[in-house]
Every structure is written in structure tokens, then in C-alpha cells.
Structure 1
Amino acid sequence: MSLARRLLLGTMETAGVDPDISFDLSVALSEACANAVEHGGGGDIPDETEAYHVTAYLDGDCCRIEVTDSGPGFPPATVARRRPALAEHGRGLHLIAELSDHVRFRNRPGRGAVVSFDKILKWRDDALLKVS
């Protein structure tokens, strides 16, 4: 979890992304990874880093992040909503939705769950990858 967050923050800083945007994305990523570890079904996998996969990429001025796991998937009510209900469980999913511009929760039947979220990037004045 912390490795993915550190890599994301370092990449965003190097690219020149506004620190507030980078922070929001890193918190959302941490929540998605925590969810994958807790519910992702890595039960017989001793190393939690093998229980999920993180993919992040830039598309113009948008950063998309996907966290996939191999667990039982989301309950149908979670997948049906764009913004999860705020309950005792699921607060991390709600936080991801609040920190991102677009979020999607989906299941891969028999293969786990996917949390994908994106955020429009804002750039520092000295940004290397600034999109105009």
C-alpha cells in the first residue's frame, strides 16, 4: 500500500502536478488498496502485495487509477451506485468517490473487484508535463 502511494506521489511531483491534487489521489489510492487487502481474497497468499494490482496512467490532463483484486467482488448495491452510501463499512469507498472526479466500482465475475477512479490534474507553473 505505502509503496504504491509513494510511487504515485513521486511521479506526480516529478511531473509537476499540484500537490493538493496529488494528495487527494494518494489518499484515494490508499483507501482502494486497503479495501483490496481487507476484502480482496488474498487469504492463502501470504504477501498482501500479491492480493491486488494497481494501474495508474495519464490521459491528457486526467489521471486514472485502477485497483483490482481477486476477492468475491462488491455487493450488487455498491456496484449499482456511483457514490456509495455512507455506512459503518464502505467509508473508504465513499472517500474515494469524494476525492476523485469520477469513480466506478465493478465486479469481474469469478475474478474479483475493480475500483477505478480519475481526477483532472492541475499543474504547477514549472510542470514538466503541463497540458495546455
Structure 2
Amino acid sequence: MELGIALSIPMEKASVTLTRNVVDVALRRCGVSPDARQDIGLALTEACTNAVRHSDTKREYQVDAALRHNRCVVEVTDHGAGFVMPDALPSVPLDAEGGRGLMLMYALTDLVEIHRHRGDGMTVHFEKNLDGALTG
């Protein structure tokens, strides 16, 4: 089964949970296993939280999620200044209050790419292989 979702989300903290729930319901309806949905949901939460926290604009951010060819592909795009990309994945203590988002995205998904748009935001792209995680 193939699926595509495109959302324009208000730049508000409460929108992160709503976005995660919308994507989770769609993936569940497509037969994605609970474990894979949990990984995707947590990675999505971290990407959306970064958009809300690090954007210096009140413009909406976009979430595009697709399920195709046994892969879930997600992009979160904002229009703010974004955050400074580290040269290497930072080592952050597990009990730290912040700074673990990128580390979690890399741990929970199969591919993470961060694209800075010249003068207008950034896109966090991640993919999760669903081989063995589809029931339908």
C-alpha cells in the first residue's frame, strides 16, 4: 500500500503531539507494526520539536510523510533560522534535558539527512525501512 500525507502545522508546541497522532493513525491503518510506528513517531516528535524550538518565525511548518516500497519517508520543513549543524553527531547524556533529538533520529531510523535552505529554514528528512514491519 502507498500513502502520502502533507500537513501545514501551526508553529506551536501543542502541534507536535497532534502531528505525531495523525501520522500514527495513518501508518496503523496501513498495517505498520506498533514497534515501527513507535520509532517513526519518536523521530517525528524530535524533528517537529526542533522546528518549533529553533525556528525564529511564526510561519507554519510542513510535515510530509509517505509510505512506499516498504519504506516510511518523512520530511519536516520550517522557515526559520534553524539550528547549527554539528560536524559530528553529539554525545549527549541520556538524562540530559535537551540535545538528544538528532541522536534519537539516527538511532531509530535508517537514514537521516538535514538540508539547510539558503536563508529560509531547513528540512529534516528521515526514512525507516518497513521490511517485516507491515502486517497488511
- Fold conserved between structures, TM > 0.5: yes
Q: What TM-score comes out, normalization by structure 2 length?
A: 0.77
Structure 2 counterparts to residues 1-132 of structure 1, below 5 A: 1-42=16-57, 45=58, 50-75=59-84, 77-78=85-86, 80-81=87-88, 84-87=89-92, 89-121=98-130, 122-124=133-135, 127=136
Distance 1:74 1:113 in 2: 9
Measured on the aligned residues, the alpha-carbon RMSD in Å equals: 1.6
Provide the identity percentage. Answer: 37
Q: Provide the residue aligned with 1:130 in structure 2.
A: none
- Structure 2 gap ranges (5+): 1-15
1:53 to partner: Cα distance: 0.9
Distance 2:29 2:124 in 1: 25
1:107 to partner: Cα distance: 0.2
Cα pair 1:41 1:69 within 8 Å, conserved: no
Matched position secondary structure for 1:72 = coil
Q: What TM-score comes out, normalization by structure 1 length?
A: 0.79
- Structure number with the higher helix fraction is 1
1:70 to partner: Cα distance: 1.2
Cα pair 1:74 1:107 within 8 Å, conserved: no
1:51 to partner: Cα distance: 3.5
1:30 to partner: Cα distance: 0.6
